[in-house]
Amino acid sequence: MSAIERGTLAGLFDLTGKVAIVTGGSRGLGVQIASALGEYGASLALVARKQGELDAAVEQLTAKGVTAVGFAADLGSPQTALALTQRVLDRFGRIDILVNNAGAAWGAPAEDHPLDGWNKVIDLNVTGLFLLTQAVAREAFLKQGKGAVINVASIEGLQGHHPDQLGTIAYNTAKGAVINMTRALAAEWGPKNIRVNALAPGYFPSKMTMVTLGEHGETMLRQTPLGKLGGDIDLMGPALLLASDAGGHITGQILVVDGGMTII
């Protein structure tokens, strides 16, 4: 019975029986998104490189009654995607939602940016993201006739980096690629009932943003209409919308979650 047939608005957000992969799911934005999907009924396959961090995230989520399993994997390697997809299918039998949150950044002036740093960022943030999305679509979504992809992009993919801050040209380039990959996949896979959307967060306190916020946090707050950084719940609602039937007519969209920073 569909959510509409059940006749409740809450039913549109219900993910009971669904399986979601969340990459970079052991901490930060990934575990925030995973928590939202899990609390609304999804079983979670959390993916990260470090088993210890995965174990801690699984423990945190299972304490809330969420079904979660950790899968240690290096998504920067092109051999990972298909094997990881099969491991998740072997464990859960299906995949309904893919959240591509894993990412890396590298700070350096553009004229001095090292090639190995560029390759690390592009290999994980763009190539690894595409290969996993491709594998999940081929092995699960297309066979099931339905699927939802949420790519975690960034406002850095929508604009240039402020010259007062250390340059992040590889990261900006990668997130810009993710944004247009989202649109291109949504157009191609829409007729196959696969929705592809992206979240573009502004600045949230995290390991990745620690240095930038330490040096520029006060200025950023003055430049943000809501006057605050992203918090522990601010991606939950947007992710749940895009993952669930509540967002069933939304595809190819970039939902900016930045407190208004990019509107001024």
Distance CA(251)–CA(261), nearest Å, equals 24
Q: CB within 8 A of 30, min separation 6: which ones?
A: 22, 23, 24, 46, 48, 99, 101, 102, 152
Catalytic residue among 13, 171, 203, 204: 171
Residue 171 bears catalytic tag = yes
Q: Are 99 and 22 in contact (CB under 8 A)?
A: yes
109 CA to centre of own chain: 27
Per the structure block, which two tokens stand in for 241? Answer: 């919308």
DSSP reduced 3-state for 128: helix
End-to-end CA distance of the chain, in Å?
45
Starting at the edge strand found earlier in the chain, the sheet holding 68-72 runs 68-72, 43-48, 19-23, 97-100, 147-152, 194-201, 254-257
Per the structure block, which two tokens stand in for 257? Answer: 């979650």
Q: Are 238 and 256 in contact (CB under 8 A)?
A: no
Distance CA(234)–CA(150), nearest Å, equals 15
For the annotated catalytic residues, the residue numbers are 171
